């Protein structure tokens, strides 16, 4: 062993003992005849002291240590003269009598501090240096702990972690697959799984009852800031259950994680239908840390001669508590906000409810004080509040208002990152109509079970059918989602038909699943959680990249190993592949 | 919930309560007016009883249930008239008053019994049915438990499980990579990892100190019975350690697994150098459940006029205790065994040490009783023993004798599957000379550290240098292996040079690692265990396929999902790939 203790171990009780430490030089300071070195490892920092009067050579050697040198020292634990009560080891230091340089270091291209001066690109290239910084270390420790606690909880409930294959079969439904050419079966390809969906259903048919897996998944999509081509899921499935069993089980999992990892006892999970969520928050993942629900003003304001309202399918308002004091400039900024192309509103109507009870709107020309009072009354506005109103097509105005609501939540500091408001959104529609391709798509996936009492509508009005599908949402972030599955081969065949699969396509891609359903498939359902996102939520930040040891950039590249890269011609030849001309 | 209890739950204490069960019909039996159904789930079997006098319709319905139907029943727990003490639930049965068929089943293509009548191919195609059989279920439960206990132990020692990427970079050293074409970077490829080797070393450079991961790895090799294109490793790495630290840590892990999962307290781990193992057992993974060490007879037998011995570089003997009674037929069979092409010996010399002390050999023409006595004496043979002797080139005769030793171990029933003899093989050679390509290959991998006191030989006689490399072997099976790594950029560059890498190639493939070594790489080392093989060893069988939920066959195919398969032309176009003409 290169060390008797770690750099976070030693305390005042250890004064007098001889220790051996190893780690990285965080910094060196010279003060008169003394040289101090902060020695760092994963567990903390310990101060080393070198006295030039006692040992000039050793002190000289210490002075020459560069940042990030790896050293081993022996010495005696002594009490510090000036203690640092911000450090767990701040009461002691090591009076060093032996120093060995285990490895030198060039000067790092950015500082290894909690706040670094390195840009994102250089930090990804030198990821091994970025990983030395406390914030990243804490993130990976948190992620580890979440994994341990998840497995502990699931194991305790009798769930088996069963590994499913990574080399599977390409299916065009859903996102784009990464494919893997087969050398032994030339011209054929494996695909990397977008999720172990069909395998976990097969496990239920196989009688495994309670399955989970923390598993890598792959999607070849154009990347956004918060997407990675490979990501990790907590993937779960249960047999002989109804929706309520799943909700209870996984509410308990997430409750356990918050309690064991963060010491937070989550409040009760709100249950809300998809329809309610869309109506009141314009989103299937509402942030419930604050109210500001939508108020439908359509009936109240239409037909009063204001063309914008009169032409609108829907007029929605929100009441921003205490925001009547917003200046003209602030209101203009809000208008600019809703007019941004990614939000797309035409304009914003506001009405201040002044402290004296008077009302002042941006549409005073069309609505007198009495009319405005009726708005304020319906929206339950109090003096000092600000009413914000958008009008237009129902779906669009909901989405716009949802963005505005979140923006107001931010501005009014109603989205406290230390508060967690969990909920289930249930009763999702089974199908989504796509205007462009003139066909239905599965809102969740093609294996999701419709509500059994709405099954007749599958023929008459498929778009009206709801699914036994549910999402877990916390603070406006979708942490997980799932559904009760179809376990009847006839119903599954019908679903494929509605989704536009020919019999041959359905058979080619999912024949094994339909086949499995012939041999006693139990009722089953499940859920999957985004593990990267879960870690980010527990860490209190948005960027999932900071919770992945070796993430890829937006072009899908690993800048550290410089991948993807060209391969040898003989590798291509063995795979019977040629590159197309550019 | 579809059930109040599981099929393994109910006992005599539960008599009188009303229960709801769900599961699969294992079998139905009609006896007079009674129908009995064995209901099965993952947890056990419960007998259901239907009385035609009490409820004729229900009994009739029960009689029509086919094998593997999924049903739900309600009823009262009653005491059985004729108890079955082989079943945990054998004291009770359920007097059923409600029966619902949740799903029908076609007749399975093979029986769902501990011993099935299905061949391997059909069982792989209908894997969901094979997975219902007890032996496979127990294997997957065992595997789950090994995962849980491994993580518990590693977490307890402060190891962090850190996920490394699956989309990495192809490196021609080692086995063949599976590659993944990149759509966003056309003409470029990711590779699937053969192991997270470089990433775990990077994590050590990143200060993570104690890393592990239970992780999938991929090798595109022609498959043998016990190989899979994707397999799972327990992958581990530590910083600031020497070889002894690693051996202690992972000996403790495996000891914990045997104790917690099998209740077995392993004996002390034997330590043996590679040289000793080759000399005494002709193998770097000797089975220590029995002795029968090699005895070098070369000096004793050469130059006595027997051409086979005189021409041989080495003559080796083993003493098979109590096998003097082998018949001529048995001895001929042993000769046939060593002459098999995969073993390749020219012939086998034997010498019986009879109970009366007389000796009888197959080479009596060349060796008289006195000579044979000297053999028996050197080999410490006792009356009743059989000496078996092979001669030839040292390396070859060792391998042949190793096979013969194992065969004799089998024949004499010395390889008890309930006994475990763990060991470490240490001091492996650093390099292997390949005659064909006239170059050295890394015996372990290019990152393995040479013995520091032999480093001068790297220039003068590289083949003589030993490595800080070690394998854990139990009962002749290599469970894991690893090494202390190089952490010095100069030494690593030299290793690449010895292995025939040009500077450019080394830079292109491993530049990031060499780069990382410039910034304070700590001393480090690690180990990886084959998780599939570990599970198989714990299960007491050889076939790793039976411990993988969805294995592939020898052609790399998943027969259930029928993969690999062709993909759409537009997928190829997006990837800028063309299939070569066949």
SS3 for B491-534, per residue? HHHHHHHHCCCCHHHHHHHHHHHHHHCCECCCCEEEEEEEHHHH
The values of phi and psi at residue B56, to 5°, are -65, -40
**In chain A, which residues have their Cβ closer than 8 Å to the Cβ of B216?**
163, 166, 216
Confidence of residue A225 (pLDDT cuts 50, 70, 90): low
How close B30 comes to chain A (CA, Å)? 22
- In this structure, the number of other CB atoms found within 10 A of the CB of residue A320 comes to 24
Count Cβ atoms below 10 Å from residue A95 Cβ, excluding itself.
15
User: What is the rounded radius of gyration, in angstroms, for the C-alpha atoms of chain B?
Assistant: 30
pLDDT tens column, B360-398: 999 999 999 999 999 999 999 999 999 999 999 999 999
Does B261 map to a domain? yes
Put simply, the answer to whether A512 touches B562 (Cβ < 8 Å) is: yes
Question: Is B140 in the same domain as B242?
Answer: yes
Q: Does residue A277 lie in a domain region?
A: no
pLDDT at A509 exceeding the cut of 90: no
Q: What is the CATH number of the domain that holds B195?
A: 3.30.930.10
Question: Do residues B261 and B298 both lie within one domain?
Answer: no
- Tell whether A567 lies on the interface with B, counting CB pairs under 8 A: yes
pLDDT bucket at A171, cuts 50 / 70 / 90: confident
Between A29-33, A98-102, A398-402, the lowest mean confidence (pLDDT) is in A29-33
Mark yes or no for CB contact B102/A522 under 8 Å.
yes
Is A338 a member of any domain? Answer: yes
Phi then psi dihedrals of residue B293, to 5 deg: -65, 160
Residue in chain B lying closest to A559 (CA)? B512
Burial of B107 (0-12, 13-18, 19+ CB in 10 A): exposed
CATH number at residue A70: 2.40.50.140
Chain B residue with minimum CA distance to A204:
B128
**Maximal C-alpha separation, chain B:** 94
Same domain, B206 and B311: no
CA distance B102 to A167: 33
- Judgement on whether residues B540 and B438 belong to the same structural domain of the protein: yes
Please, what is the average pLDDT of chain B?
95
Selected residues 499-538 of chain B with any CB under 8 Å from a CB in chain A: 511-512, 515-523
> Can you tell me the distance from the alpha carbon of A71 to that of B522, in angstroms, rounded to the nearest whole number?
9
Q: Which pLDDT band holds residue B32 (cuts at 50, 70, 90)?
A: confident
Nearest to A89, CA basis, from A13, A26, A27: A13
Q: Is the ipTM of this complex over 0.90?
A: yes
Partner residue facing A229 (CB), from B167, B232, B556: B167
CA pair distance A389, A401, nearest whole angstrom = 8
Question: What pLDDT was estimated at residue B173?
Answer: 67
| Residue B299: domain span | 290-411
Q: What is the pLDDT of residues A335-348, one digit of tens each?
A: 999 999 999 999 99
CA distance B198 to B254: 24
Residues A263 and A168 placed together within one structural domain of the fold: yes
End-to-end CA distance of chain B: 55
- Non-local (6+) Cβ contacts of B161 within 8 A are A144, A147, A148, B151, B154, B155, B211, B212, B213, B214
pLDDT for res B226 = 72
Given this model, what pLDDT does residue B508 score?
Answer: 86
pLDDT number for residue B2: 95
Whether residue B316 is found in the same domain as residue B344: yes
Compute the average pLDDT of residues A448-456. 94
For an interface test with B, which of A71, A207, A490 has the most B Cβ atoms less than 10 Å from its Cβ? Answer: A207
* Helix spans in A473-553 (H): 489-498, 503-516, 531-539
State the average pLDDT over residues B413-428.
96
Q: Which among A85, A103, A121 is the end of a domain?
A: A103
The region, left, alpha or beta by phi > 0 then psi within -120 to 50, assigned to residue A344 is: left
CATH number at residue A306: 3.30.1360.30
pLDDT at B422: 98
Confidence of residue B290 (pLDDT cuts 50, 70, 90): very high
Q: Do A566 and B245 touch (CB under 8 A)?
A: no
DSSP-based three-state secondary structure for A207:
coil
Same domain for A464 and A360 = no
Q: Pairing relation of β-strands A210-218 and A160-161?
A: parallel
Query: pLDDT of A232-275, one tens digit each?
Result: 999 999 999 999 999 999 999 999 999 999 999 999 999 999 99
Q: What is the pLDDT of residues B127-160, one digit of tens each?
A: 999 999 999 999 999 999 999 999 999 999 999 9
Whole-structure pTM value: 0.95
Does A486 reach chain B within 8 Å, measured CB to CB?
Answer: no
Q: Is the pLDDT of residue B295 over 90?
A: yes
State the Cα–Cα distance between residues A78 and A73, nearest whole angstrom: 14
Is A564 in Cβ contact with B169 (below 8 Å)?
yes
Residue that finishes a domain, picked among B389, B411, B433 = B411
Same domain, A406 and A430: no
Mutate: best of A27, A163, A191, partner B, most B CBs <10 A: A163
> Quick count: other Cβ atoms within 10 Å of Cβ A281?
25
Rounded to 5°, the CA angle B460-B464-B467 comes to: 115
Does the beta-carbon distance from A161 to B169 stay under 8 Å?
no
**A220/A196 Cα distance (integer angstroms):** 16
The answer to whether B322 and B292 have CB atoms below 8 angstroms apart is no
Q: What is the pLDDT of residue B355?
A: 93
Q: What is the pLDDT of residue B280?
A: 98
Q: How far is Cα A308 from Cα A312, in angstroms, rounded to an integer?
A: 6
CA atoms within 13 A on the CB side of B305: 7
Q: State residue B444's pLDDT score.
A: 87
Q: Over chain A, what is the mean pLDDT?
A: 95
Cα separation, B12 vs B91, in Å, equals 6
Say whether A522 and B167 touch across the interface (CB within 8 A). Answer: no
Q: What pLDDT is attached to residue B89?
A: 97
Same domain for B89 and B230?
A: no
Quickly list DSSP for A77-90: EEE-SS--TTSTTT
Token pair, residue A26, equals 């965080």
Which residue of A1, A565, A580 is in closest CB contact with B576? A580
Contacts of A207 in chain B (CB under 8 A): 24, 40-42, 131-132, 137
SS3 A5: coil
Q: Is B124 inside any structural domain?
A: no
Q: Identify the CA nearest to A268 among candidates A285, A291, A288, A296.
A: A288
At residue B58, the pLDDT reads 96
In this prediction, residue B72 carries a pLDDT of 98
A219 φψ region: left (φ > 0), alpha (ψ -120 to 50), beta (else): beta
In a domain, B5, yes or no: no
Q: Domain boundary at A411, A441, A467, which? A: A411
Residues 220-249 of A with CB under 8 A from B: 220, 222-223, 229-230, 232, 240-242, 245
| pLDDT one-digit tens code per residue, A82-96 | 999 999 999 999 999
Which residue in A270, A295, A288, A276 sits closest to A466, CA to CA?
Answer: A276
Residue B167 placed within a domain: yes
Would you say residue A223 has pLDDT above 80? no
Tokens 């549409």, residue located: A363
Q: Is A555 found in the same domain as A448?
A: yes
Segment A31-50 shows an average pLDDT of 96
For residue B283, the model assigns a pLDDT of 98
Residue B524 in this model has a pLDDT that exceeds 70: yes
Chain B segment 144-203 residues within 8 A of A by beta carbon are 144, 147-148, 151, 155, 160-170, 172, 176-192, 198-199, 202-203
Nearest CA distance, A379 vs chain B (angstrom):
42
Q: What are the residue ranges of helices labelled H in B258-327?
A: 274-281, 298-301, 307-311
Burial of B367 (0-12, 13-18, 19+ CB in 10 A): buried
Under the banding of pLDDT at 50, 70 and 90, the label for residue B437 is confident
From A407, A378, A395, select the one nearest A317 (Cα to Cα): A378
Gap between the Cα atoms of A11 and B303, Å rounded = 73
CA distances B302 to A533, B350, B366, B369, Å, are 73, 16, 11, 16
* pLDDT score of A158: 97
User: How many inter-chain contacts (A to B, CB under 8 Å) are there?
Assistant: 356
Nearest partner of A179 among B478, B434, B571, judged by Cα: B571
Q: Verify whether the Cβ–Cβ distance A576 to B580 is below 8 Å.
A: yes
Q: Please check whether residue B547 lies inside any domain of the structure.
A: yes
Cβ contact A536:A546 at 8 Å: yes
Mutate to test the interface with B, among A220, A564, A571, A582 (most CBs of B within 10 A): A564
Question: Which residues sit opposite B320 in a β-bridge?
Answer: B386
Whether the predicted pLDDT of A582 surpasses 60: no
Reduce the secondary structure of B417-479 to three states and give it as a string. CCCCCEEEEECCECEEEECCCCEEEECCCCCECECHHHCCHHHHCHHHCEECEEEEEECCEEE
Are B254 and B266 in contact by the 8 Å Cβ rule? The answer is yes
Tell if the CB–CB gap between A564 and B186 is shorter than 8 Å. Answer: no
Same domain, A358 and A256: no
Say whether both B456 and B398 belong to one domain.
Answer: no
Alpha carbon A51 to its chain centroid, in Å, reads 50
Does A122 reside within a domain? no
Which among B178, B206, B232 has CB closest to A180? Answer: B178
Other Cβ atoms within 10 Å of A266 Cβ, number: 17
Is the model's pLDDT at B582 over the cut of 60?
A: no
The shortest C-alpha distance from B510 to chain A (Å) reads 8
The tens digit of pLDDT for each residue in A416-433 reads 989 999 999 999 999 999
Distance between CA atoms of residues B450 and B459, nearest Å: 12
Q: How many domains does chain B fold into? A: 3
Q: Which of A170-184, A277-291, B192-206, B323-337 has the lowest mean pLDDT?
A: A170-184
> For a pLDDT cut of 90, what percent of chain A falls above it?
89
Q: Which of B539, B523, B470 lies closest to B250 in space, CA to CA?
A: B470
Q: Given this model, what pLDDT does residue B581 score?
A: 67
Percentage of chain A with pLDDT > 70? 99
């Amino acid at each position: 062993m290169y060390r008797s203790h770690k750099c976070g171990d030693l305390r005042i009780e250890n004064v007098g003992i001889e220790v051996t430490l190893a780690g990285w030089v965080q910094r060196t300071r010279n003060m008169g005849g003394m040289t101090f070195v902060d020695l760092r490892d994963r567990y903390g920092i310990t101060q080393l002291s070198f006295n030039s009067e006692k040992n000039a050579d050793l002190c000289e050697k210490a002075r020459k240590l560069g940042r990030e040198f790896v050293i081993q020292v022996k010495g005696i634990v002594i009490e510090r003269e000036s203690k640092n009560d911000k450090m767990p080891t701040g009461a002691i230091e090591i009076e060093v009598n032996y120093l060995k340089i285990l490895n030198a270091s060039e000067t790092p291209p950015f500082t290894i501090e909690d706040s670094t001066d390195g840009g994102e690109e250089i930090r990804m290239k030198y990821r091994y240096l970025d990983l030395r910084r406390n914030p990243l270390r804490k993130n990976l420790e948190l992620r580890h702990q979440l994994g341990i606690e998840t497995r502990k909880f699931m194991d305790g409930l009798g769930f088996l972690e069963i590994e499913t294959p990574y080399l599977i079969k390409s299916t065009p439904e859903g996102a784009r697959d990464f494919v893997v050419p087969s050398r032994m079966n030339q011209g054929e390809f494996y695909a990397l799984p977008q999720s172990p969906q069909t395998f976990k259903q097969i496990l239920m048919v196989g009688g495994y009852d309670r399955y989970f897996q923390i598993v890598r998944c792959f999607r070849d999509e154009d990347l956004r800031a918060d997407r990675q081509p490979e990501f990790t899921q907590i993937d779960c499935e249960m047999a002989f259950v109804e929706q309520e069993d799943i909700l209870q089980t996984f509410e308990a999992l997430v409750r356990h994680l918050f309690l064991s990892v963060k010491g937070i006892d989550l409040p009760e999970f709100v249950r809300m239908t998809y329809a309610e969520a869309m109506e009141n928050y314009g989103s299937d993942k509402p942030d419930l840390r604050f109210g500001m629900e939508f108020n439908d003003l359509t009936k109240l304001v239409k037909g009063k001669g204001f063309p914008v309202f009169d032409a609108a399918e829907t007029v929605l308002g929100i009441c921003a508590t205490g925001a009547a004091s917003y200046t003209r400039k602030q209101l203009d900024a809000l208008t600019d906000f809703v007019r941004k192309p990614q939000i797309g509103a035409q304009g914003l109507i506001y009405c201040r409810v002044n402290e004296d009870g008077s009302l002042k709107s941006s549409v005073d020309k069309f609505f007198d004080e009495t009319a405005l009072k009726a708005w304020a009354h319906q929206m339950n506005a109090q003096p000092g509040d600000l009413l914000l109103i958008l009008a237009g097509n129902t779906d669009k105005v909901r989405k716009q208002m949802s963005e505005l609501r979140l923006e107001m939540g931010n501005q009014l500091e109603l989205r406290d990152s230390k508060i967690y408001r969990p909920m289930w959104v249930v009763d999702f529609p089974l199908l989504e109509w796509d205007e462009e391709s003139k066909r239905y798509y599965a809102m969740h996936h093609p294996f999701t079970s419709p509500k059994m009492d709405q099954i007749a509508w599958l023929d008459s009005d498929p778009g009206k059918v709801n699914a036994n599908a549910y999402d877990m949402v916390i603070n406006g972030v979708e942490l997980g989602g799932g559904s009760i599955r179809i376990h009847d081969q006839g119903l599954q065949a019908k679903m494929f038909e509605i989704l536009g699969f020919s019999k041959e396509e359905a058979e080619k891609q999912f024949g094994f699943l339909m086949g499995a359903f012939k041999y006693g498939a139990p009722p089953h359902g499940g859920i999957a959680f985004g593990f990267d996102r879960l870690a980010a939520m527990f860490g209190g930040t948005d960027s999932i990249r900071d919770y992945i040891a070796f993430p890829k950039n937006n072009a899908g590249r690993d800048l550290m190993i410089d991948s993807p890269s060209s391969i040898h011609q003989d590798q291509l030849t063995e795979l019977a592949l040629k590159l197309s001309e550019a």
